[in-house]
Amino acid sequence: MKHEKIEVNAGLLILFTIIVISIGGLVEIVPLFFINSTVEQVKTTDGRDAIHPYSPLELRGRDIYIREGCYLCHSQMIRPFRDEYLRYGHYSLAAESQYDHPFQWGSKRTGPDLARVGGKYSNEWHTQHLLAPRSVMPDSIMPNYPWLMENELEYADVKERMRAQKLVGVPYSENSEEYRANVERFGKEVADRLDIIRAEENLMRQAEQGNYDGDPTRLTEMDALVAYLQVLGTMVDFKQFEEGYFARFR
């Protein structure tokens, strides 16, 4: 059959188009039925889950990150290529986004990827960078965010925000059974931070201990956003895994 006959016959063209799309779809979908999970198993040395949900303060910081549209210029997804590894570190794992609703992979990089920015800079650097980006990065085109330091952090509804995340599968605890399960899964220190009942207390404690914005007399939106940035990419200790370990999940 000549190709021209297919092109001039609408019925044949539609039929063969459907067949080609179906084959492509099956090639993508069928393998998913033969693997247990696409989410990597990431454990600590004592057998706990290394990836855990955000604390109340970090969760509020993430909300502010989304509100300010940071994802429009910064991705949180390092691709498995050598140039990405050399600049940003180990490629992003599916497990690292399992508690992100919605995920913050982004679609472009006007600024650098932030998947592993946690611990790379000090709290003071982040605060100054958000207040006046060009004071620390002369070539930056990022706008100033002075209101983050001026606005008091609103956290009266943090319990409701955590409950909303819980509805979509994030394992925050609200009773003794869920708390014990989190202790077993993440360890007591992390489980304490995931307790919805003590959310406001935990938020205040972390803010006071971290003093993220450099002003211990006030709790600002800057505190929350810097706390969120400082946790990104810090949950997995890649040094404890042998080379190629995570490739088996791809």
DSSP 29-77: HGGGGG-S-SS---B-TTS-BS--PPPHHHHHHHHHHHHTTGGGT----
Provide φ and ψ at 49, rounded to 5°.
-70, 125
Q: What predicted TM-score, i.e. pTM, was given to this entire model?
A: 0.86
pLDDT score recorded for residue 3: 73
Per-residue model confidence as pLDDT tens digits over 21-66: 999 999 988 877 776 777 888 999 899 999 999 999 999 999 999 9
Say which residues have a Cβ less than 8 Å from residue 153's Cβ, sequence separation at least 6: 60, 207, 219, 220, 221, 223, 224
Q: Quick check: helix, strand or coil at residue 89?
A: coil
Statement: residue 250 has pLDDT above 70: no
Contact 17, 153 (CB under 8 A): no
CA distance 240 to 168: 31
Contact predicate 96/236, CB 8 Å: yes
Q: How does pLDDT run across 218-238, given as a tens digit for each residue?
A: 999 999 999 999 999 999 999
Average pLDDT of span 122-126: 98
135 burial via Cβ count (<10 Å: 0-12, 13-18, 19+):
exposed
8 Å CB contact between 200 and 159: yes
CB atoms within 10 A of CB 183: 17
- Residues 125-142: what's their mean pLDDT? 97
Q: Which amino acid is at 59?
A: L
9 vs 85, more confident: 85
d(CA 242, CA 250): 16
Q: End-to-end alpha-carbon separation of the chain, Å?
A: 40
